[in-house]
Structure formats: structure tokens, C-alpha cells
A and B are shown apart, each in its own frame.
Chain A
């Protein structure tokens, strides 16, 4: 049961996401029926699944939503933003229910209000002039029965000018490869149109679980005779009968069945409905099963990947040992084997790291909804463009990046984009554009949030910063534009004249900055007043593997992240100068303070001081410092590990890594060292 529940939750979330996305599309193109159909399909599947799983509230609400969608599809209801608001609210409720189920709840929720609203929409616009046609031309004989879903497709394709046929294919009695013939027939059919239903089912047909003949329902634009001729060309086919489906007749049969079902569903999802849904469900399953063969994916718990990663690291450590032993023994065959193993394991490493990569889409896809809501709340017109949603990032980064992005987007919409009338006055299009762009570059991923709004007003920012005591008046004049923009990331800073709910109370952007920096990334601002602003976030591809410079201090080894290193140098003792009790060096014309890691980390002395110092120049923003070490070991890619939950805040140590010899080396946090 549990495993089904998991699948149910995952798939429900996917369907809800689709509904969300398509609803937004629909708002832009209210007359595009294919979008409505897309939503309808997702909603329908969701309804079926939840009824099967026994989540009645979920099924009920989805059912009401479906009715409204049906109205839209049949041109009975007009798509207007107010209507979509209600539908969005319904989707929110659905989401809340699915989340409650995911957290182990019962998925119950008071949805009467939304249901009521949906019903009103459904009825308020319903034309009463619909007359039933009782005439039933007996031109064709219906031999297949159709579920609601199939019926809908048939009806819809009829409206779009497709013909529906029931095709009876009879194979010769001495046919040897029945499955092959079936395949060929289906190939012809799929070329001509879309197979809606087959009896027996396709799977049974493929397994040759049928006698001599089978029935297929097809929607196509081709005329019947032509179809018949084409199918007859398949060898060993004895007889082909193509009969058009009469929609009127079908409708009557269908309506009778439906009315009964609707009545019962009104009370609750009854057994009858449920059975129907189950049939639907199994059909859907078949469909997904078929998809699976073309796009083989499985869901893997991230924890398992972590375990795999840990085990792999063990392997890497042992590989290091093996390499050393083989060097010592100098045995050619052993040498060769070990080398091969090394190569294979580095391939393996790439694959494992890649498995942890997730497209940023998983974060981005919730933004369109949010932006729409914000825009409506603020009375602004905003078009959100998402570019590069397929860009991949490590799972751990993905998990952290959501909130900062929400903040920046809200900031852009609230403070960046102007009100429509202001924009018109400035000669800009009323609708503001916010671009969310992600792309790879080197070992980094960039995420940019670009708006064509008001831009940042230098004077206003400076004034605020001076008022809040963030900078002094004297300093203010010398700042470059970039430095001024940086000020809005300072804590306790907010440029909005009035505090709004949307982008927080000035606690926002500094948190954004620190979150991004804690991920090993950085954020910069570009802006032109009146034209717009761009917030650019640079993130490491992965958090779990970083490049470091290994250094030795006395008998201890430390790793310094390459991302903070500017360069390394070796200086003579005499080159060290003193300024305010602080040892400094003159480095390319700049005075750089020295930090003796031996003292900072209280490393016990075992070696004598030499006349030369090895120095790693590191930076934090614009500031620099020289870390004094004993020697450089070299550059290396290492796996970043946490120190665990016991040692939570060790000074100037951001984590640890395991070296080739199995020992642990600590990673220096340069940001903490430079104040």
C-alpha cells in the first residue's frame, strides 16, 4: 500500500504542476482548447487516482473542477481571470490535500466554499436551451463500449473534424505470426490517426491472446475506404470491416450512463464511479507503462544516492592505497590492473555525481503561479520569462536556492516593475517583463533575474544607507555604482518607501546574500535607472565536490577552497612589515595583512621556523588576506563532508574531507578569517 501511496503522491504532484502550468497558459490564450484538454486530462487522471486510493475530498473537488473545465471546453463558460482565480484556489486546495497525504494525514479538507464557487460558475453560465436529439439513425452498429475518457476524446475529435471508425480486422486462420500482423496493422493505423481503444487490449494482442479477429477504434482524417484498402494490404489479413461511429447514438448511450453516475457522485464517490475510475486508472497505468519503455527512468531516494556516494568514496580511498602498493611492488601486471581500475572508478565518479544533478526547473516551475498572484495583488502587469529551466544543478544546491530566488523575484516585481500607468507615462509597454535565466558557464551555474523596471536610484540608496548608519557621508561620495548597489544587501536596509507584504521588511536581501554565500556562490547587481536591474547569482555546480589547495602546517594538513584563493606566493622573512601590531606584506602594491594559520588553529609546533614563508592569498569580496602555511601540497578535487551534528560551529572550519590515505583534512573557511 505504502509504495502505491508514494507513487500516488508523486504523480499527483506532477499532475497538479501540469494543471498549474497549463492554467497559466490558458490565461494567456483563453481560446486554445488544446490547453483545456491538457488540463482536463491531468485533472481526470488525478480524480481517478484519488478515488481509487480512497481520498474522496480530493476526488470530489477535482470532479467539480472538471465540470467547469468541461464547460469551458464546450464553449459554455468564458475564460476570465476571475474564473481562473477560483480554479487556482481549487488547485491550491488540491495541493494542500496532497501535501497532507504526503505528510501522513488523511487528505481531508474543508473545500465547501471552493466547491460552491465552482458549482456557481458551472451553473451560472449554463445555457438551458440544450435539447436532446432523440433521433437515432441506425446506420452503424456499435459494438464497443466506451469509458468517459474515451468518449470525451471521440467527441472532441469529432468537433475538430476527425472521423471515428470502428475497425474489425480478421486474420487468416493459418496465420503464423499473429503478433507481427497485429503490429503491422497498428503501424498502418497509427500512421493514419490515433487508436483510442482496442479489444482485446493491445497488450493481449501483442501476446497473441486472441482468436482471429480484433476490434480497434480509430480517430483519423482519412476516409474509411482508404483505410480498409491499406489494412487489407497487410498480408494474412482475411477481412477488414470499417464502420463509422455515430456520435449521436453514442452520445445517448453515454449520457444515460453518465447521468446515473453523476447523480451518485454528487453524494460521494460511489462504488460505481470508483469502478469506472479504476478502469481508467489501469488504462492510464498501461499508458505510463508504455512511456516507460521509451524513456526509462526510475525514482531513487536521494538518501540512497548519498549512501552510494559514501561507498564510492570508500572505494576511492582504497584505490589510493592500491595505487601506492602497486608502485612499491613495481609489478607490471598489478600496475596495469590498478590503472584500469582507477580509470573505471573515475568514470563511475562522474556518473554518480551526475545522478545527483537535478534541472532547476524543479524550483522554477512554482514561480509562474507566484508571479501571477503577486501581479494581481499589486495591480501590475507582469510577464515572466523563464529561460534555461533545463540547466542542471546539484540536488543540495537546488534545495537551498528556492527561497533566495523567491525573494529576488518578489523584490523585482514589488520594487522593480512600475505600476502600469507609470510605465505608460514613461513610454514603456504596460506589461513589465521579468526574465529568469539559468545557464552553465565553466564550473558554475548562473541564475539571473532581470527586470525592465525602474532600476536602482543611486542617490536614494546612498541617502538611505547614510540615514541608517550603514556608511558615512564621506565614504559615500567615493563609491562606485556597483558598490552602491551592494549596499542594498546590507542588513537593515530597505529602499521601499512603504513597507509592503510582498518583499518583506528589509530583512530580505541580506539573508539572500548570506544564503547564497553559504552555498559557495555570490550575487551581484547591475542596474540602469529607468531601464531595469539584473541580479546575477553565481553558484558552484555541486556542493559535494570542490577544488581545494592542500597545504601543510607543521604536521597537519588543511584544505583551502580554490574559489577563495587569488594566488600563492613565497616570501622572505624580511619582507614582512609591521603596521598597528599587525604583520602585513606589500603584495602587488597592496597592503595585505598576514594570518599565521599555525596560531589561528593553535597547531602544536614540531618544526623550526624557516627563512621563507609560503603564503596563500585569499579574498572575501574586496578584502584580501595572506594565510601563512608551511608548504603547499597541491591542488585536488575533494568531497566535502560535514563535521556532523556534534561539532556545529567550529571557528573558521567549514567542513572536512577524506584524503587519499583515508585521513580527514579540515577545510578552511576563508570568509570567517577575513573580517
Chain B
């Protein structure tokens, strides 16, 4: 039992365009529906603004724009995944939040040379679960504040 726990990774799976991405569940605080976003001037284009998340002002990033995928109007499926990395708490706009999965760590492979649209930098690996291909995101790179503001 202990062994199983150690070799499995619990992830939140979400959709961006045609691909499925995954973030370790420990980094996810909550998943929210889209609400009013207040634009923050003079910030990079992928920073959509800030929302009121139960009294805490939380910045929101549009992952599509962050990865250079063409924008799409929000719909019923659109979700904001609130992630936390150290002191930084940020919401990521995704097309849909699909699943919570346990993936065996041995099924995770290093990122292939070319992945459509998304820079390889942002990826820690790729996991094959059945027929699905999950792209594991490197949140540190995605949230790299050096490049923001």
C-alpha cells in the first residue's frame, strides 16, 4: 500500500484547446467558475486581472494567452483553477476542468522535443494514461514572475 502511494501522482486534469494538461493536486487550492474579473492596467496580456476570491484579491492568468493559443470566449465549461506556489497564489483560466487522476510515476516521460503550441520550458513531462496523453505543467515556469510586470 505504501509503495503504491509513493509511486502514484494525484493530479488535476484540465483542458486547453485539444490537449489535456495536469497539475499535481497539492498545488491546487480550488476550482472556481468564471466570475467578474477586474482588469489591471499595464500588465502582460495574459494577466486577465484580479478577482475577489472569498475576500482575497487573486490575480488571474489566461493560460491560452500564456501559451500563445488563440483566445476563445468563456463558456459554461470555462473554469479558474486556483493554484498556490509558495507565497504566490494565482488563478489559471482553462477551457474545462476534467478529472482528478492517479497516474503512476513510471508512466511519466520526459517532454518530447516538440509539443504543439506550448513551449517545452513549461513542461515537466508527459504521462500516458490509457489512451489519454497528459502534459504535466511546470508551474514555477508558468508563474515565473521575472517575466511579469
Contacts and interface: CB of A to CB of B under 8 A. Distances in A.
Interface stretch (A114-122, A225-233, A248-256, A649-657): A649-657
A663 interface: yes
A663 B143 contact: no
A602 B49 CA distance: 13
Interface in A201-218: none
Given A656-B57, A664-B57, A647 B149 contact: yes
Interface string A626-657: 00000000000000011111111111110010
Interface stretch (B1-9, B86-94, B103-111, B125-133): B86-94
A666 B40 contact: yes
A664 B88 contact: no
Contact of A647 (B40, B52, B55): B40
Contacts of B90: 644, 646
B77 interface: no
Contact of B55 (A310, A643, A652): A310
Contact of A658 (B57, B88, B145): B57
A664 B52 contact: yes
Contacts of A600: 41
Given A644-B88, A664-B50, A602 B55 contact: no
Interface in B53-83: 54-59
A314 interface: yes
A645 B145 CA distance: 9
A650 B56 contact: no
B59 A644 contact: yes
A607 to B, nearest CB: 16
A646 B84 CA distance: 11
A647 B148 contact: yes
Contacts of B43: 647, 650
B13 interface: no
Given A310-B55, A664-B52, A601 B36 contact: no
Contacts of B40: 643, 647, 650, 653, 666
A523 interface: no
A645 B57 CA distance: 11
A653 B52 contact: no
Contacts of B54: 310, 314
A553 to B, nearest CB: 10
Interface string A300-339: 0000000000110110010000000000000000000000
Nearest to A601: B41
Contacts, number: 87
B51 interface: yes
Contacts of A648: 145, 149
Interface residues of A, number: 30
A648 B41 CA distance: 13
Nearest to B90: A646
B39 interface: yes
Contacts of B51: 664
B41 A646 contact: no
Interface residues of B, number: 26
B89 A641 contact: no
Given A310-B56, A658-B52, A602 B41 contact: yes
Contact of B57 (A311, A602, A642, A651): A642
Contacts of A310: 54-56
A651 B42 contact: yes
Contacts of B98: none
B59 A649 contact: no
A630 B42 CA distance: 20
B41 A643 contact: no
A650 B42 contact: yes
Given A313-B55, A643-B57, A603 B88 contact: no
B26 interface: no
A662 interface: yes
Interface string B25-52: 0000000000010111111000101111
A192 B131 CA distance: 91
A646 B88 contact: yes
Given A646-B59, A647-B149, A663 B36 contact: yes
A647 B41 contact: no
Contacts of A317: 52, 55
A348 B82 CA distance: 30
A583 to B, nearest CB: 20
Given A650-B41, A651-B42, A663-B36, A645 B55 contact: no
A512 B58 CA distance: 31
A556 interface: yes
A352 interface: no
Q: Which of the listed residues B42, B52, B56, B89 has the most CB atoms from chain A within 10 Å of its own CB?
A: B52
A665 interface: yes
Contacts of A665: 38
B55 A650 contact: no
Contacts of A556: 38-39
A655 to B, nearest CB: 8
B38 A645 contact: no
Q: Which of the listed residues A601, A646, A650 has the most CB atoms from chain B within 10 Å of its own CB?
A: A646
Contacts of B38: 556, 656, 663-666
A498 to B, nearest CB: 42
A650 B50 CA distance: 12
Contact of A643 (B39, B52, B59): B59
A668 to B, nearest CB: 10
Nearest to B49: A664
Contacts of B56: 310, 641, 644
B32 to A, nearest CB: 13
B57 A644 contact: yes
B42 A601 contact: yes
A314 B57 CA distance: 12
A646 B39 contact: no
B98 to A, nearest CB: 25
B14 to A, nearest CB: 19
12 contacts: A310-B56, A317-B55, A602-B41, A643-B50, A644-B88, A644-B90, A645-B89, A650-B40, A652-B42, A656-B50, A664-B36, A666-B38
- Which 7 pairs from chain A and chain B are nearest by CB? A601-B41, A310-B55, A664-B38, A656-B57, A641-B57, A646-B59, A645-B87
Given A650-B42, A665-B38, 13 more contacts: A313-B55, A314-B54, A602-B42, A643-B57, A644-B56, A644-B89, A646-B89, A650-B41, A653-B40, A658-B52, A658-B55, A666-B41, A666-B50
Interface of B: 36, 38-43, 47, 49-52, 54-59, 87-90, 143, 145, 148-149
